[in-house]
Amino acid sequence: MSEKVLMKGNEAIGEAAIRSGCRHFFGYPITPQTELSAYMAKKMPKIGGVFLQAESEVAAINMVYGAAGAGARAMTSSSSPGISLKSEGISYIAGADLPCVIVDIVRGGPGLGGIQPAQSDYFQVTKGGGHGDYHLIVFAPNSVQEIVSLTADAFNKSEEYRVPAMILGDGTLGQMMEPVDFDSVPEPKKADKSWATTGTGLKREHNIINSLYLSPEALEKTIIERQKRYDIIKEKEQRYEAHDIEDADIVVTAYGTTSRVVESAVKTLRSEGLKVGVIRPITLWPFPDKIFAEAAKTAKAFLSVEMSMGQMVEDVKIAVNGKAPVYFFGRTGGIIPTPQEIIEEVRKIAGGLK
Amino acid sequence: MAIVFQKPHALTDAPFHYCPGCTHGICHRLVAEVLDELGVEGNAIGVAPVGCAVMAYDYFNCDMQEAAHGRAPAVATGIKRVHPDKVVFTYQGDGDLAAIGTAETVHSAARGENITIIFINNTIYGMTGGQMAPTTLPGQVTQTSPYGRDIKTQGNPIRVCEMLSTLDGPSYIARVALDSVPNIKKAKASIKKAFQNQIEGKGFSLVEVLSTCPTNWGLSPIEAIKRLQKDMLPYYPLGVYKDIDNENK
């Protein structure tokens, strides 16, 4: 029998990371992710791991670069303004093909913004953040239990593809407590890390962790090679949860905390006889465009609900590709949409369809 | 036939890209000789900076990582925390270490991170073509201080050794120069000590190496050495600024 414990989302990330073999965590305090750093500070010294509070988010992500380049399963975490600071290092990590896991517990922005939950960093985490042609594999859990399995997946997928992975949460997900077990964390996979800087032992050519290619031909070659891995990821790693889309007139989509609100709104709407289905992206990059394309064959309209002014909705539009109108509803700045607001929005769209 | 001089094993066969008369070549060689003499090349992991030494990863035979501008001490920290038994060093210039990377430098020193830092001070940004550095001397003409560095508007140079030696973390802080054979020998001894300290687990060591940049100073290599002696040595006095071995005696 699995034992369930009551845990905050932020702490569950920490425990799942440790169980996934992460022994190197480099942090810097920022609300609302600080419980994760605190958890690692408490746990790591007891299990022979490293918790280091860096002098800045910039230093922390570069410590991850060094540790990942040295072959370790390394992690850092932050929230929106801190992710902006880490973006330089994330670009270098992507450019050097290093696996690692970055946690972003999103808060309202721009600037110092606020400390309440938001989803206004979707563009930042899926379209770049840092400079250059690169992507992160972005996982967006919607429960503390799912945080656990996705944290384990993030480490494994990151190493499989040598692409940095991100766990994208929000203040609500990070702070709320839910019962959770860790049965879904598999034994850490042993990845081939013959590229890592571990000392040559005078037995092999030196390994170089690097993102600099002064020859345009050489640089283009590395980018195209990486793009091929991205293409495989787009083909094989799209994840989502969907229900009631076969007969749906309207498909509502949301990720993370917002998807939980959408679920209760859709329950009410279906009880009223409205044919409403749900697609919940679990990976934001790769965006699960195939299920949207499939749903667009029969659905008459889509609604993207976000805690932003409309960011994921752009990917929904690309995926739906003009087959149906795509609407948007969002609250932002730390405000979570209510079920009633979503219900009214769907009713409005349904009214227009008749 | 007896071999009287050869390339250190810790250097690759890649030809240096450095300008004629630049002292980076000497410093690379000193570091490589020390790695050879201590027998740690196979155990070493180096971190290259952004600046003229950006391609140091092609020159040192040990495993290498290329860091973002100024971040080498953070990268080295990450490596060292994964492999405490390995010899981890950074090789950085003055813009990298004392401007954009000041926080990483100061905090790795304050933590007493058990790494070795080789710090090239040539009072100018070389790679980008000769702009004012945090170590540019008062009155020194550069591309971005064309009328001479005016300390009223452009601030004062940073004396890195003096600043870091106020911290409790470092075990060894020294300033050396590459202007003469005796000083080059002293420089090598300091570099060796900075690596030995790490091997013995004593903590953070930094050697500041006063160097020349004939190209961006607009001087011949010989004139550049003279400038180092005349202008830099009085402002940046050579010597050991911190050595816990002496403090403990």
Query: Which 3-state string (H, E, C) describes B146-174?
Result: CCCCCHHHHCCCCCHHHHHCCCCCCCEEE
- Residues of chain A with C-beta less than 8 angstroms from the C-beta of B96: none
Average pLDDT of chain B to the nearest whole number:
97
- State the DSSP string of chain B: --------TTB-SPPP-PPTT-THHHHHHHHHHHHHHHT-GGGEEEEE-SSGGGGHHHHBSSEEEEPPTT-HHHHHHHHHHH-TTSEEEEEEEHHIIIIITHHHHHHHHHTT-S-EEEEEE-SSBTTTTSB--TTPPTT--BTTBTT---HHHH-PPP-HHHHHTTSSS-SEEEEEE-SSHHHHHHHHHHHHHHHHHHHTT---EEEEEE---HHHHT--HHHHHHHIIIIIHHHS--EEEEEHHHHT-
pLDDT band (50, 70, 90) for residue A354:
low
Selection from B196, B160, B229, B221 nearest residue B38 by Cα: B196
Average pLDDT of the segment spanning B219-230: 98
pLDDT band (50, 70, 90) for residue A39:
very high
pLDDT at A285 over 80: yes
Give the rounded percent of residues in chain B with a pLDDT score beyond 90. Answer: 98
* DSSP tag of A114: -
- Say if the Cβ atoms of B79 and A197 lie within 8 Å: yes
pLDDT for residue B247:
82
- Say if the Cβ atoms of B65 and A66 lie within 8 Å: yes
Q: How does pLDDT run across A245-283, given as a tens digit for each residue? A: 999 999 999 999 999 999 999 999 999 999 999 999 999
pLDDT for residue A190:
86
CA end-to-end span of chain A = 51
Which residue in A has a C-alpha nearest to residue B58's C-alpha? A208
pLDDT at A1 over 60: no
Nearest CA-CA distance, residue A20 and chain B, Å:
17
pLDDT for residue B248:
66
Average pLDDT of chain A to the nearest whole number:
97
The overall longest dimension of chain A from CA atoms, in Å, is: 75
Contacts A–B by Cβ distance under 8 A: 133
pLDDT band (50, 70, 90) for residue A91:
very high
Q: How does pLDDT run across B34-48, given as a tens digit for each residue? A: 999 999 999 999 999
Average pLDDT of the segment spanning A132-141: 97
| Domains in chain A: ranges and CATH | 5-236 (3.40.50.970), 241-353 (3.40.50.920)
pLDDT for residue A128:
81
Predicted structure pTM score: 0.97
pLDDT at A72 over 70: yes
pLDDT for residue B29:
98
pLDDT at A99 over 70: yes
Q: How does pLDDT run across B125-150, given as a tens digit for each residue? A: 999 999 999 999 999 999 999 999 99
CATH of B24-247, one of 3.40.50.970, 3.20.190.10, 3.30.750.24, 3.40.220.10: 3.40.50.970
- Say if the Cβ atoms of A198 and B45 lie within 8 Å: yes
pLDDT for residue A118:
96
Question: How far is the C-alpha of B143 from the C-alpha of B131, rounded, in Å?
Answer: 5
pLDDT for residue A184:
86
Q: Domain coordinates of chain B in residue numbers? A: 24-247
Question: How far is the C-alpha of B52 from the C-alpha of B213, rounded, in Å?
Answer: 10
- A137 with A233: CB under 8 angstroms? yes
- Say if the Cβ atoms of B78 and A65 lie within 8 Å: yes
pLDDT for residue A353:
80
- Can you name the residues that pair with B91 across neighbouring β-strands? B118
pLDDT at B204 over 80: yes
Q: How does pLDDT run across A160-205, given as a tens digit for each residue? A: 999 999 999 999 999 999 999 999 898 888 899 999 999 999 999 9
Which residue in A56, A71, A88 is closest to B103 by CB distance?
A: A56
Match 């571990």 to its residue by tokens: A198
- Say if the Cβ atoms of A69 and B75 lie within 8 Å: yes
Which residue in B43, B68, B82 is closest to A89 by CB distance?
A: B68
Which residue in B has a C-alpha nearest to residue A210's C-alpha? B66
Chain B interface, Cβ < 8 Å to A: 12, 41-45, 47, 54-55, 57-58, 60-68, 71, 74-83, 86, 103-104, 106-107
Average pLDDT of the segment spanning A211-240: 98
Q: How many CB atoms lie within 10 A of CB A224?
A: 10
- Say if the Cβ atoms of A58 and B74 lie within 8 Å: yes
Average pLDDT of the segment spanning A292-320: 98
Average pLDDT of the segment spanning B5-18: 96
- Say if the Cβ atoms of B55 and A68 lie within 8 Å: no
Give the rounded percent of residues in chain A with a pLDDT score beyond 70. Answer: 99
